[in-house]
């Protein structure tokens, strides 16, 4: 389908599916309740307020891209989407920290190895393209390595000592996570897939750590506002006709 035909179709009716993990789901860590909970003002809900058409949130807490593929048909394709916003990686790069804290001399793999993550993300993009569905990749917001280290070690001095034996230094948590973001950028470049780079928006703030929850990885309420603004900027630039009003976008 040529570009003009796609645009004409979207002008008539547009269905968008947000596909990813807990960040897209709108999960935050609520410090008052001392637990994870759903944020009403999640970026998906904020963006939805300004769009014509239908927006489905098919993101799932804890999901990796492997698990995403397992629910692609039921959670995404059955919705007959025109556009799929793809946000995976935060869980894929994660390790089983409790096991590392127990035995730092063991051999451990991330939940999804980088090569597998890259290959599956490329395959997901290819599948959507063959069905004339527009894939849009979303980069990962940066994690706060210090907060995340305290979170996965559960503030246990012994666990912290053992985890450090395994990873070497806390900054490696950030760099490891960043390598999965690099894989997303690589897929976007190699497949000529649209990319919304929310990571840059976080890093351009005065102190991005203030946009991250106590657990070190989930954006907080203000972080979700940053993501929503970036997505709306993208839509305003590329698909203005999808907006039902002109959002007030932060500078």
pLDDT average, residue stretch 46-57: 94
pTM of this structure: 0.94
Task: Work out the burial of residue 95: count CB atoms within 10 Å of its CB; fewer than 13 is exposed, 13-18 middle, 19 or more buried.
Answer: middle
Report residue 15's pLDDT band, with 50, 70 and 90 as the boundaries.
Answer: very high
pLDDT at 8: 74
Q: What is the mean pLDDT of the chain?
A: 94
Q: Per CATH, the architecture of 3-93+112-142+180-242 is what?
A: 3-Layer(aba) Sandwich (3.40)
Report residue 2's pLDDT band, with 50, 70 and 90 as the boundaries.
Answer: low
CB of 25 closer than 8 Å to CB of 58: no
Percent of the chain scoring above 90 in pLDDT: 90
Beta strand segments in 190-240, E: 194-196
Residue with tokens 């395959």: 123
Using DSSP bridges, classify how beta strands 27-30 and 35-38 pair: parallel, antiparallel or unpaired: antiparallel
CA distance 64 to 25: 13
CA distance 66 to 105: 27
CB of 11 closer than 8 Å to CB of 4: no
Task: Work out the burial of residue 201: count CB atoms within 10 Å of its CB; fewer than 13 is exposed, 13-18 middle, 19 or more buried.
Answer: buried
**CA-derived radius of gyration, the chain:** 19
Report residue 246's pLDDT band, with 50, 70 and 90 as the boundaries.
Answer: low
Query: What's the pLDDT tens digit per position in 114-162?
Result: 999 999 999 999 999 999 999 999 999 999 999 999 999 999 999 999 9
Q: CA of 200: how far to CAs of 8, 10, 42, 135, 181, in Å?
A: 31, 28, 19, 20, 11
H or E stretch at 16 = strand 15-20
């Amino acid at each position: 389908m040529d570009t003009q035909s796609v645009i004409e179709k979207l002008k008539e009716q547009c269905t968008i599916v947000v596909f990813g993990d807990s960040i897209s789901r709108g999960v935050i860590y609520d410090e008052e309740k001392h637990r994870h909970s759903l944020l009403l003002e999640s970026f998906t809900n904020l963006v939805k307020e300004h769009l014509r058409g239908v927006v489905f949130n098919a993101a799932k807490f804890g999901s990796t891209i492997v698990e995403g593929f397992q629910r692609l048909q039921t959670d995404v394709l059955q919705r007959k989407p025109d556009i799929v916003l793809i946000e995976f990686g935060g869980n894929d790069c994660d390790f089983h920290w409790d096991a590392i804290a127990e035995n730092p001399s063991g051999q451990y793999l991330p939940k999804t190895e980088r090569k597998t993550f890259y290959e599956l993300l490329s395959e997901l993009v290819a599948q959507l393209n063959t069905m004339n569905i527009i894939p849009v990749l979303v980069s990962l917001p940066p994690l706060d390595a210090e907060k995340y280290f305290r979170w996965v070690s559960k503030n246990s001095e012994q666990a912290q000592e053992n985890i450090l034996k395994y990873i070497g230094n806390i900054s490696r948590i950030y760099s490891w996570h960043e390598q999965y973001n690099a894989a997303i950028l690589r897929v976007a470049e190699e497949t000529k897939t649209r990319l919304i780079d929310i990571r840059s928006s976080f890093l351009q703030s005065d102190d991005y750590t203030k946009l991250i929850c106590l657990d070190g990885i989930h954006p907080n309420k203000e972080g979700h506002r940053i993501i929503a603004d970036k997505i709306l900027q993208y839509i305003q630039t590329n698909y203005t006709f999808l907006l039902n009003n002109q959002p007030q976008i932060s500078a």
